[in-house]
Amino acid sequence: MTTPSLPDVETDILVVGTGASAMTAALTAAEHGARVLVIENSHLYGGTSSTSGGVMWIPNNHLIGPAGGSDSEAEALQYIRELVGNSASDTLITTFVKRAPRMFRFLDERCGVKCESLDVYCDYHPELPGGKPGYRSCQALPIKSGGLGRDIATLQEPHSGTTAFGRINWTAREAHTLVTQAKGAKTLFMRILIVYYLDIRQRFKTTRDRRITGGGALIGRLMMALKQRKVKVQLSTALKDYIVENGRVVGAIVSNDGLAQRIRATKGVIVGSGGFERNAQLRDQYLPQPTTTAWAAGVPSNTGEPIAAAMRIGVKMGNMGSAWWAPGFKLADEDRSRPMFVERALPGCILVDQDGKRFCNEAASYHITGGLIAKGGAKTAPCWFVFDARYRGKYNLGPMFPGPAKMDDWLRPSMKEILKKSDSIAGLAPQIGVPKDVLVATVERFNGMAKVGKDEDFHRGESMCDRYYSDASVKPNPSLAALEKAPFYAIPLYACDIGTNGGIQTDEFGRALTESGAPLPGLYAAGNCSASSMGKAYPAAGATLGSGMTYGYIAARHALGIAD
Ligand SMILES: Cc1cc2nc3c(=O)[nH]c(=O)nc-3n(C[C@H](O)[C@H](O)[C@H](O)COP(=O)(O)OP(=O)(O)OC[C@H]3O[C@@H](n4cnc5c(N)ncnc54)[C@H](O)[C@@H]3O)c2cc1C
């Protein structure tokens, strides 16, 4: 850096990033009496974590029993091992299973991060040994924005895909009731709308909802706990390089609002800087092709700089080709992609590749479906999400609210731009560049299977996971309905990611490893900047936050020399 330097700063623990992994590390260290400095390259804090659903997957946690569920270390281990295989070391997996419940209890009982266990949110593969029909996925309880004081102004806003109408916050429980149009959905919908619009004082000021849910509530609670412990969170400060002395990382060189500064950390640097999803060069080098930063759904500030800096000092990388995948689409007037978490499982839609053929169970977890799109290469870049007027009339799709086809004229221009439409399936085919006969045959075959409720090709709607976001009023299979009512529509989907999850290879204490496999003293990593303890798998909703936060907690304790 050529800009003038600021005076050096010293702290015990330097935490890089303000996502859930970093903030959990900072809070753990502060609660144990350490001097902690948190730096964040963006002018906003919270990272993708704050914009997310904020669901954390914590198997065998202390809220499960009181909520009516049951779990055990043995079941969690069996389940994760089955899914992860050899894509993460068994030590990382075992440590996650043992420590995640402790981290979660610590945040709850000592730091005020109050959560609930989601009883009906099933694991993504509940039929596997050790899989569960609910309870392991948890969410922070909502907070009021006023509780954050002035810090509300710099909290990352929710991703538009995790709110109702792009602005009204909802919890995972509410989203499930509303999306599936379950009993009580209409009353709930009215209540949410009334509470939002009758908050007159807030409505005069901003469209931002006073009730903060999901990732915002999680980050908000962590921030409040950090502030109570007088931890400094310094925004617009980016890590550029690590300072290495005598084989130990002793601090970092940062750009503080454009000015170079050295921060010395006597007990360790803990990196929680998210993935490299916004780094075109690393994407091109490591992710399945084709790929582009435009397909990232995470915050634009996740540039992977701390990962690249770690490479420069000889840190070992793991699982760099891996990401938390999701099928998604990109609107020209938004700065990030919209992952499709729920829409694919609702009846009346299919996904086809460029040959016009289905290639997956559309209702499977977003990671499975998105992973298949990534694997499909050019043949699925894009693939097409095809649906009919009945689907259009009943379900929400991105910024497109349910309604009749005549409302299409009033759609947002960016949505209109990607939406293809025709009075027949045959007419849709040339618009999306797939062979007409094949697409017609695909829809005909699908319609036949939908009517009897059995997807012979991909078994859609058979797993409890497929049905989580399906429509219970549709029989015999709540995820299947024929595409029969004109007009027919299609939008292009890509291999969107909600964060890459390969990076700094760590051991079971969160220590960065060198190429030789030995720990590099003083450097720790947690969350998406590290090679995840979930390997290439995505066991359930919240697996990314749950594992990242657990390793943030572990890293802070190790850096401070706290015994298990
Ligand atoms: C719409 C959406 C919904 C999601 N819902 C869920 C969910 O419910 N549950 C779940 O488990 N996962 C969910 N995810 C995925 C999840 O949000 C991410 O995997 C997770 O937030 C990553 O957390 P992290 O702590 O690793 O980093 P992040 O939350 O991404 O934070 C990293 C931070 O580091 C900062 N940073 C980057 N570089 C530097 C630097 N050089 N110096 C200083 N700071 C830097 C970034 O600006 C950022 O603030 C969702 C993702 C999206 C997009």
Q: How far is the CA of 100 from the centre of ligand 1 (A)?
A: 18
**Cα separation, 179 vs 490, whole angstroms:** 20
Q: What percent of the chain has pLDDT over 70?
A: 99
Q: How far is the CA of 481 from the centre of ligand 1 (A)?
A: 36
Banded pLDDT at 4 (limits 50, 70, 90): low
Ligand 1 atom index nearest CA of 545: 11
Ligand 1 mutation target, pool 236, 293, 544, most atoms within 8 A of CB: 544
Ligand 1 atom index nearest CA of 309: 41
Q: What are the pLDDT digits (tens) for 47-99?
A: 999 999 999 999 999 999 999 999 999 999 999 999 999 999 999 999 999 99
Closest protein CA for atom 17 of ligand 1: 49
Banded pLDDT at 564 (limits 50, 70, 90): confident
Tokens at 245, concatenated: 């002395």
Pair type for strands 349-352 and 237-245: unpaired
- Given a cut of 60, whether residue 2 has pLDDT beyond it is no
CB 100 within 8 A of CB 58: yes
Residues in the chain, total: 564
SS3 464: helix
Q: How many CB atoms lie within 10 A of CB 482?
A: 17
For the entire predicted model, the pTM comes to 0.97
Q: What are the pLDDT digits (tens) for 157-203?
A: 999 988 887 789 999 999 999 888 888 999 999 999 999 999 998 99
Q: What are the pLDDT digits (tens) for 302-325?
A: 999 999 999 999 999 999 999 999
Q: How far is the CA of 48 from the centre of ligand 1 (A)?
A: 3
Given this model, what pLDDT does residue 3 score?
63
Is the C-beta atom of 20 inside 6 A of ligand 1? Answer: yes
Q: How many CB atoms lie within 10 A of CB 150?
A: 6
Q: How far is the CA of 349 from the centre of ligand 1 (A)?
A: 30
Is the C-beta atom of 527 inside 6 A of ligand 1? Answer: yes
Q: How far is the CA of 355 from the centre of ligand 1 (A)?
A: 35
Q: What are the pLDDT digits (tens) for 396-425?
A: 999 999 999 999 999 999 999 999 999 999
- Given a cut of 70, whether residue 451 has pLDDT beyond it is yes
DSSP secondary structure letter of residue 564: -
Is the C-beta atom of 17 inside 6 A of ligand 1? Answer: yes
**Cα separation, 188 vs 161, whole angstroms:** 19
- Measure Cα distances from 497 to 17, 303, 420 in Å: 19, 14, 24
Q: How many CB atoms lie within 10 A of CB 204?
A: 7
Mean pLDDT, to the nearest integer, of 367-374?
98
Q: How far is the CA of 302 from the centre of ligand 1 (A)?
A: 8
In DSSP notation, 407-445 reads GGGGS-HHHHHH-EEESSHHHHHHHHTS-HHHHHHHHHH
SS3 377: helix
Beta-sheet strands, E only, within 36-76: 36-39, 55-57
**Cα separation, 106 vs 112, whole angstroms:** 9
Given this model, what pLDDT does residue 165 score?
77
Q: What is the 3-state secondary structure (H, E, C) of 249-289?
A: EEEEEEEECCEEEEEEEEEEEEECCCCCCCCHHHHHHHCCC
Q: What percent of the chain has pLDDT over 90?
A: 94
Let me know if 517 is exposed, middle or buried by CB neighbors in 10 A (0-12, 13-18, 19+): exposed
**Cα separation, 294 vs 495, whole angstroms:** 10
Phi, then psi, of 2 in degrees rounded to 5: -100, -10
Return the closest-CA partner of residue 210 out of 198, 219, 218.
198
Given this model, what pLDDT does residue 161 score?
86
Given this model, what pLDDT does residue 1 score?
57
Residue 365 CB contacts under 8 Å (≥ 6 apart), including other chains: 124, 125, 465, 538
Given this model, what pLDDT does residue 311 score?
98
Q: What are the pLDDT digits (tens) for 233-274?
A: 999 999 999 999 999 999 999 999 999 999 999 999 999 999
Mean pLDDT of the chain: 96
Is the C-beta atom of 178 inside 6 A of ligand 1? Answer: no
Mean pLDDT, to the nearest integer, of 118-139?
98
Tokens at 391, concatenated: 């689907």
Is the C-beta atom of 148 inside 6 A of ligand 1? Answer: no
Ligand 1 mutation target, pool 42, 239, 241, 545, most atoms within 8 A of CB: 545
